[in-house]
Amino acid sequence: MKTITYSEAIREALTLEMERDDELYIMGEDVGKYGGLFKVTRGLYEKFGSMRVIDSPLSESVIVGAGIGTAISGISSIVEIQFTDLLTCAMDQIVNNAAKFHYISNGLLTVPLVIRAVYGAGVGSGAHHSQSVEGWFAAIPGLKIVMPSTPYDAKGLLISSIRDPNPVLFLEHKRLYFAKGEVPEDSYSIPLGKAAIRREGSDVTIVATGLLVSQCLEAADECSEMNISVEVIDLRSICPLDKETILNSVKKTGRLIIVEEGNLTGGFAGEIAAIVVDEGFDFLDAPIKRVSSSDNPFPSNVEMELYCLPNKQKIIDTVEALIVG
């Protein structure tokens, strides 16, 4: 094990998989000589060359469409979209092509495509570069959506995503890139669709993804000082979703809080709540609560932006309201 950053863990996964598969390539805006907008692909151009680390035109539709084309031809593909907001420019390719080719070909075609994209707010990037849009894509059958929260998971889940024959939307929170953690030097994989219980508890279950997992753990630490025992579940992926882990936890605690950075209205937290009501209503001792971003475009002013986001204190307040009333 060694201690590296989240971005370094992703780079290691890319390097190991490109060494394993000499046809695997990466394409996106500035991923080559520049090393990517967030420097995740730094050094890969020099190692693998311009035919496998490809600087693309300024067109998300072209980037994803080309990735789909090579994927259905049998060549695994990784494409990078600099911000999830810009996935809107490739919506037709993702929703009507990548997600559906396997089905409409009656299983003859697979789409081994990973779409890496940066999501999340909190650094003043404004309304067009700060959104968390995973809930949009969770409604599309045929896509897998992965949201790692640690360097360890980032490496293992990316390797699994690259080896998966289905299209995977691999979402990386921009505020996690410098987070550090222990990561094995060798290649390893983490199954998609298996959540991790980051902290065990008995009074309330909190479910989260990505950056918010660490904030939930910090909130759980403070709640323990008030003799409130919080269980924290890191979903890791929302499609596939590990319903079993969520339901088993709610059965134990009787209470559920779902924390997400997406907007409150239409967010994926609502889907998790619906699943628990449908399949675990008898487990609940209190209403399900959501801690989400407010329903407005993100401002560029950092203080105003942080006001709109979920945070540790909002999580603690929600826990107290459920337990104490």
191, part of any domain: no
Q: Are residues 51 and 110 in the same domain?
A: yes
Q: Which domain holds residue 252?
A: 196-323
Q: What is the pLDDT of residues 2-30, one digit of tens each?
A: 999 999 999 999 999 999 999 999 999 99
Is 252 inside a domain boundary? yes
Say if CB 209 and CB 195 are below 8 A apart: no
User: 241-262 burial by CB neighbour count: b if 16+ within 10 A, else e?
Assistant: bbbebbbbbbeebebbbbbbbb
Residue 219, pLDDT > 80, answer yes
Residues 164 and 201 in one domain: no
Residues 241 and 135 in one domain: no
Which CATH number goes with the domain that contains 56? 3.40.50.970
Question: 124, 154, 183 — which closes off a domain?
Answer: 183
Give the active site residue among 102, 128, 129, 173: 129
Helix/strand/coil for 289: strand
Is 189 within the bounds of a domain?
no
190 falls within a domain: no
Query: Does some domain include residue 270?
Result: yes
Q: Let me know whether 158 and 201 are in one domain.
A: no
Q: Are 163 and 244 found together in one domain?
A: no
Q: Are residues 250 and 145 in the same domain?
A: no
List pLDDT tens digits, range 249-304: 999 999 999 999 999 999 999 999 999 999 999 999 999 999 999 999 999 999 99
In a domain, 284, yes or no: yes
Q: Residue 123 and residue 52: Cα distance in Å, rounded?
A: 32
One domain, residues 178 and 84: yes
Same domain, 119 and 211: no
Same domain assignment for residues 170 and 264: no
pLDDT at 325 over 80: no
Identify the CA nearest to 15 among candidates 37, 38, 42: 42
Average pLDDT, the chain: 97
User: Contact, 64 vs 37, CB < 8 A?
Assistant: no
The reply to whether 93 and 154 lie within a common domain is: yes
CATH code, domain with 234: 3.40.50.920
From 162, 183, 204, the end of a domain falls on 183
Question: CA-to-CA distance for 249 and 246, rounded, in angstroms?
Answer: 5
Percent of the chain with pLDDT over 70: 100
Last residue of a domain, one of 183, 211, 231: 183
Is there a single domain that holds both residue 170 and residue 207? no
Tell me, yes or no, whether 171 and 75 share the same domain: yes
pLDDT of residue 324: 85
d(CA 242, CA 252): 16
- pLDDT tens string 31-48: 999 999 999 999 999 999
Model confidence pLDDT, tens digit, residues 308-324? 999 999 999 999 999 98
- Is residue 164 domain-resident? yes
How many domains does one find in the chain? Answer: 2
Q: What percentage of residues in the chain have a pLDDT greater than 90? A: 99
Reported as type and span, the H/E element at residue 320 is: helix 312-323
pLDDT digits (tens, 9 = 90+) for 61-80: 999 999 999 999 999 999 99
- Say if 206 falls within a structural domain: yes
pLDDT of residue 167: 98
**Is this structure's pTM higher than 0.75?**
yes
Annotated catalytic residue 173: no
208: Cβ–Cβ under 8 A, 6 or more apart, which residues?
149, 215, 216, 232, 233, 234, 235, 258, 259, 260
Residue 133's pLDDT band, with cuts at 50, 70 and 90, is very high
